[in-house]
């Protein structure tokens, strides 16, 4: 499986799990801090995995690709948005090989709280859960729009932006980043995007929160894509010590940008 790499090529390996929609280009937000602090940040192109691969086998494929890339070296995980769910599932496939989990703007299982009504993506998730044919049509239309007019798709996605994401969405550098991310996300069609959403909506693996690694949560107080109640649920549910940093006024992507340098600093000194 191909992956993108940022920071120091000979540094301590860190695996980043991008959001949905998202792509390995997302991990570029770690480039400067990772290079300065001696970290090698890898982000795998998981949407390139054959669409027929799903369930636990999907996570096994990702774990195998990680092992091949780092040659068995222990790693740290960073998961963003729905990528936090993927990170937790892959963690279960790599017992004893992941030292810490940093979950940014993380999601929680929808059946564990009244989260859906607070989410900007409620319409998309409801379609995926209740009208899969319509969801498939929506995803394919997003893929088509991303290939031709990624800036328009980005504006549609950020129409409901809250907190600091409102200002972020107007910044030229961030708009360029999101256009690149969206184009890359749908390069191979909508199948990878759809799979991650469907697996997020399906029951999560039993024992997924029985985590021996250290867990760090980073969440904006104004996040309306992954409501902060999701982070509160995770903080209560992990059995070990969990640290949680609430970023006041932060939303979804602004949390990622604000947390990136802080996470790299923590990982470099661990």
Q: Is 81 helix (H, G, I), strand (E, B) or coil?
A: coil
> Is pTM, for the whole model, over 0.85?
yes
Spatial distance between the Cα atoms of 60 and 50, rounded to a whole number of angstroms: 13
Please tell me the predicted confidence (pLDDT) of residue 240.
80
> With contact defined as beta carbons under 8 Å apart, do 252 and 165 qualify?
yes
Query: Is the confidence at residue 33, as pLDDT, over 90?
Result: yes
pLDDT (0 to 100) of residue 200: 98
Residue 262 burial (CB < 10 Å; 0-12/13-18/19+)? Answer: middle
Query: Quick check: helix, strand or coil at residue 64?
Result: helix
Report d(CA 193, CA 48) in Å as an integer.
10
Q: What average pLDDT score do residues 153-182 get?
A: 94
pLDDT at site 212: 86
Which residue, 173, 20, 178, 40, is CA-closest to 107? Answer: 20
Quick check: 58 pLDDT over 90?
yes
Burial class (CB in 10 A: 0-12, 13-18, 19+), 207: exposed
Fold of 3-269: Rossmann fold (3.40.50)
Q: Which of 47-51, 55-59, 208-212, 214-218 has the lowest mean pLDDT?
A: 208-212
- All structural domains of the chain with their residue ranges: 3-269
pLDDT digits (tens, 9 = 90+) for 75-92: 999 999 999 999 999 999
- Provide mean pLDDT across the span 104-123: 95
* Distance in Å from the first CA to the final CA of the chain: 28
Query: Quick one: pLDDT at residue 270?
Result: 78
What pLDDT does residue 178 have?
Answer: 96
Q: Answer whether 76's CB lies under 8 Å from 46's CB.
A: no
Exposed/middle/buried for 249, CB within 10 Å: 0-12, 13-18, 19+?
middle
**pLDDT confidence of residue 255:** 97
CB count within 10 Å of CB 14 equals 27
**Secondary structure letter of residue 26 according to DSSP:** G
pLDDT at 241 over 90: no
- pLDDT tens by residue, 191-218: 999 999 999 999 999 999 998 899 999 9
């Amino acid at each position: 499986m191909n992956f993108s790499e940022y920071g120091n090529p000979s540094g301590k390996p860190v695996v980043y799990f991008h959001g949905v929609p998202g792509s390995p280009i997302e991990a570029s937000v770690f480039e400067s801090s990772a290079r300065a602090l001696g970290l090698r940040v890898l982000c795998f192109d998981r949407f390139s995995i054959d669409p027929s691969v799903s369930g636990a086998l999907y996570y096994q494929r990702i774990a195998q690709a990680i092992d091949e890339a780092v040659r068995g070296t222990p790693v740290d995980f960073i998961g963003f948005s729905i990528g936090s769910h993927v990170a937790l599932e892959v963690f279960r496939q790599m017992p004893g090989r992941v030292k810490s989990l940093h979950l940014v703007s993380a999601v929680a299982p929808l059946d564990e709280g009244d989260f859906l009504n607070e989410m900007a993506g409620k319409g998309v998730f409801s379609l995926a859960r209740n009208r899969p044919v319509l969801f498939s049509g929506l995803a394919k239309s997003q893929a088509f729009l991303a290939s031709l007019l990624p800036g328009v798709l980005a504006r549609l996605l950020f129409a409901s932006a809250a907190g600091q994401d409102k200002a972020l969405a107007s910044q030229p550098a961030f708009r360029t980043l999101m256009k690149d991310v969206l184009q890359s996300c749908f390069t191979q069609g909508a199948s990878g995007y759809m799979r991650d959403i469907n697996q997020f909506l399906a029951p999560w693996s039993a024992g997924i929160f029985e985590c021996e690694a250290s867990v760090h949560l980073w969440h904006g107080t104004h996040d309306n894509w992954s409501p902060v109640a999701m982070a509160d649920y995770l903080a209560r549910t992990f059995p070990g010590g969990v640290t949680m940093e609430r970023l006041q006024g932060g939303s979804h992507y602004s949390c990622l940008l604000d947390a990136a340098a802080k996470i790299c600093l923590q990982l470099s000194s661990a």
